[in-house]
């Protein structure tokens, strides 16, 4: 058995956290490849090292003095090194970083030093080999991740390395310049390493015990999801549930490697398993609920719309011409509704409306703002009757007016549109009916 273990910033924020991580890795000899993030916040008012690096580099780029800021970053690492009693000095590394900052090596280079230095400490602490991600993770000249080359080079390297630390978040372009993934990208590195090493499990260690059935800011202590499929996760993540970087599932998905989300502070919790497919039913018919506020609906009416071939295309053309993507498009016989993000749509509203008039000539257009969308997701919905019924009677009892309903034919999710102000009440009502009142 082989496992990749990725640790997030809060798991590596201090020497104390590093010790927990060391214990976790040593407790299982299968944990052979380690992907660390940069040190995160030690407490709620603290600053992540990545953010410190970005602001320090900003000064360097403006030609200002950045000594104090760089010293503060060095201090964060020194605290960890001292706390772990390591005979390691990052003196030369920091000289090099200072030189490269002065030479304006770029903000990606700057940010990447967070995981680079943490990787060096981690490798020293564990006695594992350190592999600089810039030598095994590649981006093309446009900055797009080069999956093929990375897989080939990384696979060959890991084949000859029994145990290694590969820092997360960055790699290098063809010309050697450092490039990062988007924020939170160490999750992606973990997935890439898992695929290249053909491991059995990708363990992603963070500060929560897995994905929750609903947002804890709305539901008091929601239950943890035990097993979720990649597809369900995509649906929930898109609607705002975030624990994992959204691109992190693609590399492992190719190989069918499961991801296990675990809690560094509660290592005995089983966490959440993210899998390709499963015969395990979710505990409550639904797997999770997520949602977002800030949508707008554009409602069109036109007599005999149904018979007019090309009407939908013309309407969507008006959105495309204004560079606006749409979220949902429920339709009736003579009506059609387009749901869009309000902040994207707002300042282009009149231009879209006139384009619709010009291209599709509807009888009437109405715009409704301040809507929220809620996704109720569950692979179990396909095989159980009455799910929609339960959702809508719960919403009716909670006095929530449903503005829109959309259920894909995959029956994996039901999307419900409500007014922004009903959002929290609606989520509570749905959670209660499935999780609290079990049938
Ligand atoms: N350190 C980077 C960030 O703060 C990447 C990561 O933690 O995954 O976004």
Give the rounded percent of residues in the chain with a pLDDT score beyond 90: 85
Residue whose Cα lies nearest atom 2 of ligand 1: it is: 184
User: Which residue, judged by its Cα, is nearest atom 8 of ligand 1?
Assistant: 184
* CA-proximal residue: ligand 1, atom 5 (nearest): 184
For ligand 1, residues with CB inside 6 Å are: 9, 37-38, 48, 50, 114, 168-169, 183-187
CA atoms within 13 A on the CB side of 286: 30
Q: Could you tell me the two tokens for 372?
A: 């929220």
* CA nearest ligand 1 atom 6, residue: 184
pLDDT at 211 over 90: yes
Distance of CA 104 from the midpoint of ligand 1 (Å): 21
Q: What is the pLDDT of residues 98-148, one digit of tens each?
A: 999 999 999 999 999 999 999 999 999 999 999 999 999 999 999 999 999
- 37 closest CA partner among 148, 170, 231, 209: 170
Q: What DSSP letter does each residue of 144-168 carry, written as one string? A: -B-HHHHHHHHHHHHHT-SSEE--S
Cα-based distances in Å from 367 to 232, 332, 338: 31, 17, 10
- The torsion of the CA quartet 182, 260, 42, 223, rounded to 10 degrees, works out to 110
The CA-based angle 245-249-250, given to 5 degrees, is 120
Taking the whole predicted model, whether its pTM rises above 0.75 is answered as yes
- Please give the distance of CA 59 from its chain centroid, rounded to a whole number: 29
Q: Which atom of ligand 1 is nearest to the CA of 180?
A: 5
- The band of 410, judged by pLDDT with boundaries at 50, 70 and 90, is confident
Instruction: For residues 146-151, give the mean pLDDT.
Output: 97
Residue 28 above 90 pLDDT?
A: yes
3-state DSSP of 117-132? HHHHHHHHHHCCEECC
Under the banding of pLDDT at 50, 70 and 90, the label for residue 436 is: confident
Q: What is the pLDDT of residue 381?
A: 84
CA of 37, closest atom in ligand 1: 7
For ligand 1, the distance from its centroid to the CA atom of residue 164, given in whole angstroms, is 20
What's the CA-to-centroid distance between 69 and ligand 1, angstroms? Answer: 19
Is residue 307's pLDDT more than 90? no
| Tens-digit pLDDT profile for residues 174-188 | 999 999 999 999 999
Contact 61, 104 (CB under 8 A): yes
CA of 149 to the centre of ligand 1 (A): 23
DSSP state of 306: G
Does the pLDDT value for residue 339 go beyond 80?
Answer: yes
- CA–chain centroid gap for 227, Å, is 17
Model confidence pLDDT, tens digit, residues 158-171: 999 999 999 999 99
Residue 437 has pLDDT above 70, yes or no: no
Q: Ligand 1 test: best mutation among 168, 181, 187, 248, most atoms within 8 Å of CB?
A: 168
246 exposure class (CB count in 10 Å sphere: 0-12, 13-18, 19+): middle
- Closest ligand 1 atom to 181 CA: 5
Distances (CA, A) of 215 to 47, 126, 224, 405: 24, 36, 11, 21
Q: What is the pLDDT of residue 197?
A: 97
Residue 86 is inside which H or E element, if any? none
For position 15, what pLDDT does the model report?
98
């Amino acid at each position: 058995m082989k496992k990749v273990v990725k640790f997030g910033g809060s798991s590596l924020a201090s020497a104390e956290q590093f010790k927990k991580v060391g214990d976790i890795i040593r407790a299982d000899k299968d944990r052979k490849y380690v992907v660390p993030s940069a040190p995160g916040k030690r407490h709620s008012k603290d600053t992540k090292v990545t953010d410190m690096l970005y602001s320090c580099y900003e000064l360097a780029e403006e030609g200002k003095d950045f000594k104090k800021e760089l010293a503060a970053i060095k201090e964060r690492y020194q605290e960890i090194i001292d706390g772990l009693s390591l005979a390691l000095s990052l003196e030369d590394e920091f000289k090099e970083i200072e030189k490269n900052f002065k030479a304006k090596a770029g903000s990606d280079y700057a940010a990447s030093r967070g995981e680079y230095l943490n990787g060096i400490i981690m490798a020293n602490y564990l006695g594992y080999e350190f592999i600089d991600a810039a030598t095994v993770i590649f981006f093309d000249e446009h900055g797009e991740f080069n999956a093929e080359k990375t897989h080939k080079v990384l696979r060959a390297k890991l084949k000859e390395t029994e145990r290694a630390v590969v820092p997360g978040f960055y790699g290098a372009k063809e010309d050697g310049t450092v490039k990062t993934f988007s924020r939170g990208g160490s999750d992606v590195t973990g997935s890439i390493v898992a695929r290249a090493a053909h491991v059995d499990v990708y363990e992603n260690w963070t500060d929560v015990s897995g994905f929750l059935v609903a947002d804890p800011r709305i539901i008091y202590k929601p239950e943890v999801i035990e097993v979720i499929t990649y597809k369900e996760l995509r649906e929930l993540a898109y609607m705002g549930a975030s624990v994992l970087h959204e691109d992190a599932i693609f590399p492992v998905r190719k190989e069918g490697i499961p991801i296990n989300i675990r809690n560094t502070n509660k290592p005995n919790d089983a966490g959440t398993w993210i899998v390709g497919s499963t015969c395990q039913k979710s505990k409550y018919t639904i797997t999770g609920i997520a949602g977002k506020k800030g949508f707008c609906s554009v409602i069109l009416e036109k007599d005999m719309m149904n018979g007019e071939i090309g009407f939908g295309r013309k309407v969507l053309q008006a959105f495309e011409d204004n560079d606006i993507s749409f979220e949902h498009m429920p339709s009736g016989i003579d009506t059609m509704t387009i749901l869009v993000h309000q902040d994207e749509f707002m300042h282009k509203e009149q231009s879209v409306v006139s384009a619709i008039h010009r291209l599709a000539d509807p009888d009437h257009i109405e715009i409704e703002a301040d809507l929220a969308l809620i996704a109720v997701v569950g692979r179990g919905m396909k095989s159980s009757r009455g799910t929609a019924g339960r959702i809508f009677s719960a919403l009716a009892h909670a006095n929530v007016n449903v503005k829109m309903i959309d259920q894909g034919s995959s029956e994996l999710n039901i999307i419900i549109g409500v007014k922004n102000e009903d959002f929290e009440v609606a989520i509570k009502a749905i959670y209660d009916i499935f999780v609290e009142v079990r049938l």
